[in-house]
Structure 1
Amino acid sequence: MSDLPAPAGVEAFEKIKSLLLGDMSRRLDETAERVEKLDDRLGDEEKFSISTGDALIDAFRRAEEKRPRALSKALAPSVVTIIRSEIKNSKDMMVEALYPIMGRLVTAAVAGAFRDLVESVNARIDALASASSWRLRLRAMATGRSMAEVALAEAEAGRLRRALLLERGSGRLFAIWPATEAGPQGANADLESGMIAAITEFATNVYADKGGELRMLDIGSGKVFLRASPRVIVAGEFGGELSAQREKRLDEAFLSIVELHEKDEEACTPDAIGGLLSDALTEGPARPKSKTPILVFGALLAGLVFWFSWEPILHSYREWRIRAAYADAMGSHPALAQYPLHLDIEHKDGRVVLRGLAANDAEPQGVMDAVARVADPYRVEREVQIVALASQTQQDLRAGETRAATTLQEAQSQIESLRSELKEARAAIERLVGEHDAPRAKLQRFIESFAVFFSGSDTLIDPAATAERLDELAALLKASDSGLRVVGYADEVGANVSNRSASRKRADKIVAMLVERGVPRNRLALVSRSTLNPIADSTLDMVRSRRVSFELPYAGEFDVR
């Protein structure tokens, strides 16, 4: 049935409908679509919350990107109000979060102040020299603490500063003694009770497997003793250190406070807590102080004085004995009084030295023997020079003069001989210098370091340098009035006949160049040695063998015809 064509009237009606109501129908469809979208977003409370949240997020994001300053000013009052309200409503949570941090800050501040106090007290104690200061020094050395800490501990030992009774777990303060405490210390009682409760719970949880309880906190300037029951904690802050006996009585007082609170909370007043603790810390009747420490200290001090003064006393005694023996020995040898003699006692090296002058060996040795008998364990040494009598001295002087005159004559003869040798050596040097500077010697040195090299039959490798060196050679030949052999060489390439011809051409070319520079031809001898005496490897660079070298002739060589 659906495949049958519609009647013509229906089709016409639809066309008329679309013409008359087409725009309105389209708007209605769009409106229906928008209503469906709004229903999807705002149809119920859950959909409205989700859509509102998305819209707010988008709005905040756009405001943060485009208008951040205006967004901050608009939200600041609300954020501050919310934070204040949250702090007020979540006081316990804030306290639990901030107590550990504040506790560390408070501890650091207290420790810093205590260090300053310790340094100040140390400076003042160091200036004292009384028996009390020495007692503090000895106790500080024994305990490894500073003198100021020991002094403060003794000054405040056993003094109860404050007692707290608080609920375990929450840290709520039940009672504080002294009850009339005011000022900063009274104001931070709640803070301290919370810290103590938190630290106690932490220690209990950490060491639960060991069944231990936290019994004491060291706060630098004192100690906080803790005793806890399942419901309450008793904390007492004391200055200095407590003796074992006081600590035992303090344990009993803490247990009494816990029992009192268990029986009757209202009876556990600040005065009752303070009374129990004060009774526990009250000392018994004072006993007379023992003089034993003073006697022991005096004995130690006397021992130290004797120990440090023993060595100087022993040195003084030994020196007195040695000086007395030396004086007696010098009295027994009056002749020594005319000579400068003295005795030196060197305690550090453990020796006695007799120094000075004497006429003979016997008398100084007698003095040394007398000193050695009392000088033990020091060793006795002698540094005495023996001087002769005046007559003997004059004879020695005359003999010395004779020997000096003889030595002087010998020295003068040697000087004259040296002068002659020096004169001959100077003449020889002058001859050598003259020969070195002679024209023939200069010519010899020049030709030993000079040769002319060729690239071909008679083609020079470096014409300019060769011409310059030949100028020097011509000048030396003219100055020396000597003859010269001009020797041509060839390499080993080619036939012997061609090599001899090439070496001759090279020598002939150099002879012609020297003649052009004014050297007489009859003083030049041309020699062709072909491949004799090569100076290069025949398989590598034999070109260097193509050369002309020079030799001085033998005496009379140019006279032979």
Structure 2
Amino acid sequence: MTGATKTPEAELKRLLLARELDLLYELNDRVEGVEDRVGSDGALRDSVHRVIVEVLQRANASDHERIARTIAPLVLSSIREEIRNSRDMLVDALYPITGRLVAAAVRNAFRRLLENLNDRLDRSVSFDRLFNRLRAKITGSSEAEILLLQNPPFDITDLLVIHRPTGLLIARIADEGASMAVDSDLMAGMLTAIMAFTRDAFGSATDGELSTLTFGDAELHLMTSPAVILAVATRGPAPAALGTALQEEFVDLIERWGETLRDFTGSLLDFQQRALETDLRNSFRQLLQRKAEVVRRPPYKALAVLAVLAVLALGWGGYSAYRDYRVDILTQTATRTLAADPTLTGYPIDVAYDTELRTVTVTGLFPDIDTRLRAEEALAAALDDAPVQMRAAVVPRGGSGGAIAPRIAALEAVVADGLADIDDRLDGLDEAKSAILEQSARTAALETTLDDGLAEADSRLDDLAAAAVARANTLELSLDQTKAAATEQSARIAGLETAIGDPAAALFRFMAGNALFFSEVADFRDPSAAETTLSRLAALIGAAPEDMRVRIVGYSDEIGSSRANSLISLDRAAAVVDRLVALGVPPERLIAIGRGASKPLSGTVGAGSGNRRVEFEPVLAGEAVGR
């Protein structure tokens, strides 16, 4: 039976198992593909290489921390093993880089050390220092040269390069005047042995290296790497910068010759030996040049400090002069601005500059609050950005103050005399009215007489007023001398107003123009004047309507705390209330309050201050009564 012949059984089998046969064929193809990819070591490596890179990239992107934790130990252990196996090669490869970093750090530290030493030298004062400066001035040399001459000379005599693992001498460069008494190879071997002994005796290979050998004034400075030793012989005290210079030369040597010298077997090729010796001579020559470099320039910092102090002093003097000039300009401008207002003529006003608060301060007495506000606006416009502080008081309502106070007091005296005369005539008129009631026949004659008397009284009053004005223009009484007279005349005027005018209006005028002044706590400054004022006030309150109440307001100066001043001002108001009650005023018509140091009349304090006072105010309708 051939493959082309189909038996009924095969056809039936195909029909019944067609699906399974297709799966078998597909599985066979897949097995053959897998065999091609992993059937041998080479095929497996190629397949894994193609897949593992992509897998790691995707894992790193989706779960970086997990893959890092998994792979990191393997990578670190591999790096550590490689470092242990190739330690010398790694040190030689990294030495030029680390050497430069260390050299830079040493240079910076050395520079800072020199700066600190320079500062201390600049600040130091000693006999040797002064002597060296004087000697430098006389000889014309710098102070640094004098100091160098005082120190022993320093010189570099020899330079050797040694192969460290074998102790063989690679090259030697000596000063032209130096002797070669010691065999170079023997010196190299002994030096290598000494370094190995020191390392074995005093520490492990990682604890450090021998850096200096000293014998008398001679020193051997050593620079080492795992493969090379650079030895420099010197005489005399070495300068501070020698270590940095040697480090730089050694780093350059390792960078240029490190790989060649690491494999040194006893000799170099001729061209290598000549090139190495040429480099070493250049290094030796540079070291000889560096030994004579001046470490620092002569210090001029003291002069710089003096110059700065002089500039600061000049600046402060200029600032002080400018400040005084500005204060003068501000005070003069403020004075001219206030003098330009005619309503302030005759009022005591003073302008000063407060240096602590940096403000223009105005003190004194203004005629009214509107004039004070107008003056404050004018000062703000004239002084630009300079702050102004107004400490001036305002004349109380209805009161008299300043230059017109004596004239008003004199006018009140004249008017009082005229009113007294009118009072006498009114008494006579009252008797005439009684006579008219008894004798009706004389009514017309009495009325004529009364009219004549009133006309004569009006004429007399006009004459008295004119005389009062004339007398006021020439009267030069002081405020203290006229205060008692004004108080007495005001009492008489209040009595007249009570008799012929509105009692409530008379009371208002009296309260607006009068106050009581105190020396200490509740003691009146002038008890006699205070008693007269209280008597007048008690009479006016008694004549006013019964529903009118008076507020007695106490004040204090700024001495003491705010709470103490409030209590003192209340005590003064209470003392006045008690005296008015004793004079017959019902207590329910009086209210005592204390306002402390608010509303000052002047800037003075103490027993003579006008701020220690009691004022009177009408109680508003509907205001609650309380003390």
TM-score, normalization: structure 2? Answer: 0.28
- The higher-RCO structure (CA 8 Å, 6+ apart) is 2
TM-score, normalization: structure 1? Answer: 0.30
